[in-house]
């Protein structure tokens, strides 16, 4: 009763910010993302009669918040309830990228936990069922279950809100050059940030304008046209962070290195390099370009003051057993 799974982090082209149901993590809007090949979580789950309690081992953390362990244990409870067992489990997990720094570590983490845990218990679940379960653990985790370029449907019930693949990872030779400017954990988690979203005066106008951006992103993906996709994802990232900055309490995730990176991207584009930025709920910046330009973009990014690490990602398959 042991299994190991790998799940990618994902970068949202259309963001998830705001929930219509806290317990089920139903989003207020649909979102679109790309799975990342080099930013992933590897998780082993083992169930045994010998374990008297759930044990969680995170190899990249000096210590784990008890609330994090409880959150993992509650997710295992969902799987145990489906199987009709009470066995405790040992969970061992490791990331290839910094945890809780705005690079979707909870997405890859709960997607890997869902797949490994369900297989270890002998559950035979469809991709849709796995996506729904992962979503309840951590909203954006549902997007790390399907392959490649993914859409997460909002839905009014748990059964209606799941992610599915728009295009496989081989569909477009797009790259995400992940520029890490802060590897430390965020002081305010995304979960806490979601709770205050409606305090922003710009939140409802964001929801009203999202359908147009969603269509532009889908058009850019369909045509494999970065000239369409790029401006739409930049506008979306700025829009979401404008909401964050005007919440109560306000969330200011960007650092000086984040701003320097944004200005650099604009300058490189004026010089003829086709690259666009997007930023999730954190300070680290994702530079989206075609594969032919990825090395040049990465080399330029490494020269920006305050950059700690640069990781080139291609579109990746979703969560799977290894």
Q: In the structure, what pLDDT confidence band is assigned to residue 105 with cuts at 50, 70 and 90?
A: confident
Q: Which CATH number describes the domain made up of 2-169?
A: 3.30.230.10
pLDDT digits (tens, 9 = 90+) for 186-234: 777 777 888 889 899 999 999 999 999 999 999 999 999 999 999 999 9
In the predicted structure, residue 103 carries a pLDDT above the cut 90 = no
Q: In the structure, what pLDDT confidence band is assigned to residue 14 with cuts at 50, 70 and 90?
A: very high
Torsion of the alpha carbons at 125, 87, 93 and 283, rounded to the nearest 10: 70
Please give the Cα distance from 91 to 107 (Å, whole number).
16
- Specify whether the backbone of 155 is left (phi greater than 0), alpha (psi in -120 to 50) or beta: left
Q: Look at residue 188 in the predicted model and tell me its pLDDT.
A: 77
Pairing of strands 309-313, 55-58: unpaired
CATH 3.30.230.10 placement within the chain? 2-169
Q: Look at residue 260 in the predicted model and tell me its pLDDT.
A: 97
pLDDT digits (tens, 9 = 90+) for 261-287: 999 999 999 999 999 999 999 999 999
Q: Which CATH number describes the domain made up of 174-313?
A: 3.30.70.890
pTM of the model as a whole: 0.93
In the predicted structure, residue 139 carries a pLDDT above the cut 80 = yes
Question: Average of pLDDT values for 59-74?
Answer: 80
CATH 3.30.70.890 placement within the chain? 174-313
Q: In the structure, what pLDDT confidence band is assigned to residue 100 with cuts at 50, 70 and 90?
A: low
């Amino acid at each position: 009763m042991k299994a190991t799974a790998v799940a990618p982090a994902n970068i949202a082209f259309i963001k998830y910010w705001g929930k219509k149901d806290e317990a089920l993590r139903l989003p207020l809007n649909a979102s679109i993302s790309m799975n990342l090949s080099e930013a992933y979580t590897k998780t082993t789950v083992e169930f045994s009669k010998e374990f008297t309690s759930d044990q969680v081992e995170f190899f990249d953390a000096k210590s784990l918040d008890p609330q994090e362990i409880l959150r993992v244990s509650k997710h295992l409870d969902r799987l145990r309830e489906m199987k009709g067992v009470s066995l405790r489990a040992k969970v061992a997990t490791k990331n290839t990228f910094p945890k809780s720094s705005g690079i979707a570590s909870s997405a890859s983490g709960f997607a890997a936990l869902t797949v490994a845990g369900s297989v270890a218990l002998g559950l035979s679940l469809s991709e849709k069922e796995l996506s729904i379960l992962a979503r309840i653990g951590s909203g954006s985790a549902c997007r790390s279950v399907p392959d490649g370029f993914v859409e997460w449907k909002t839905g009014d019930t748990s059964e209606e809100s799941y992610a599915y693949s728009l295009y496989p990872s081989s569909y477009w030779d797009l790259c995400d050059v992940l520029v890490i400017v802060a590897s430390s954990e965020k002081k305010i988690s995304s979960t806490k940030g979601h709770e205050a979203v409606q305090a922003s005066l710009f939140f409802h106008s964001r929801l009203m304008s999202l359908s147009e951006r969603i269509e532009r992103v889908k058009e850019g993906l369909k045509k494999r046209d970065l000239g369409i996709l790029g401006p739409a994802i930049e506008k979306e990232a700025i829009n979401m962070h404008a909401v964050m900055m005007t919440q109560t309490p306000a969330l200011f995730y960007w650092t000086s290195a984040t701003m320097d990176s944004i200005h650099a991207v604009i300058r490189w584009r004026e010089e003829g390099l086709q690259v666009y930025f997007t930023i999730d709920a954190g300070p680290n910046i994702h530079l989206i370009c075609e594969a032919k330009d990825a090395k040049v973009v990465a080399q330029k990014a490494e020269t920006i003051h305050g950059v700690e690490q640069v990781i080139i990602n291609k579109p990746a398959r979703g969560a799977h057993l290894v």
